Amino acid sequence: MSVISMKQLLEAGVHFGHQTRRWNPKMAPYIFTERNGIYIIDLQKTVKMIEEAYNVVRDIAQEGGTVLFVGTKKQAQESIEIEAKRAGMFYVNQRWLGGMLTNYKTIKKRIDLLYAIDKMESDGTFDSLPKKEVLDLKHKRDRLEKFLGGIKEMKGIPDAIFVIDPKKEKIAIHEARLLGIPVIGVVDTNCDPDEMDYPIPGNDDAIRAVKLISATIANAVIEGKQGIDAQEETPKAAEAVGSAPEAPAEEAVAEEASTEK
């Protein structure tokens, strides 16, 4: 039994690519035809490559490994968080801070600070501090939670990453490849599939398409961890629709803070 059906993919609009003038020639093997100036993705190949990615993720989870879900574009943020949490995995859905993988020790220090501030609030330390200092600490805590909350329980670098839109997540992919971490991801007709170890040809802009594929990868994790047919746990929403330079992690957090209002 297939882990995903053609009907689900069609209803979610996974087959719609970009305009023909915005394409990467390396995606030619995954294009079925052109219609009204839009490339149509070959869903038979999508099904096959989703199944390949599914098996890889399931096997990683079965061995106790971890998968990091990455999707910072607006259309992916909600699905990435929901599906990573459903699978008991980790996610980045805001901004990828340079060094999240290659400079993980520094990132871990920021996570430790997040926990320290939480402890200060819970043990009553805030009560003995000036109001302004408490407000500053809460603001710092909220900022850290926003960007690092999805990985704060991650004990080390993941065994694989799943990304939506490699053009958007090029720094994450670059870091993963430097460390030899397998990359699984949705590649639209304007992307380079060679950047992926396990590319999944599909629409990376439609919310329903992103939701469906993310849910399928989450199912693979669940099946691997629990030894069950995780397709039964696909959320109703999914069923209905069927090398850049790295910034030091601390500087990246500070930079983001300076742009927030």
Residues 135 and 16 in one domain: no
Residues 146 and 42 in one domain: no
Q: pLDDT, tens digit, for every residue of 135-154?
A: 999 999 999 999 999 999 99
Q: Find out whether 28 and 34 touch, Cβ atoms under 8 Å.
A: no
pLDDT of residue 19: 87
Q: Find out whether 218 and 84 touch, Cβ atoms under 8 Å.
A: yes
Q: pLDDT, tens digit, for every residue of 107-116?
A: 999 999 999 9
The count of domains in the chain is 2
Which among 23, 22, 44, 19 is positioned nearest to 32, based on CA atoms? 44
Residues 54 and 96 in one domain: yes
Residues 167 and 233 in one domain: yes
122 in a structural domain: yes
Residues 182 and 135 in one domain: no
- pTM of the predicted model, to two decimals? 0.84
CATH for 240: 3.40.50.10490
pLDDT of residue 113: 94
Give the residue numbers spanning the domain of 233.
6-100+158-250
Residues 168 and 209 in one domain: yes
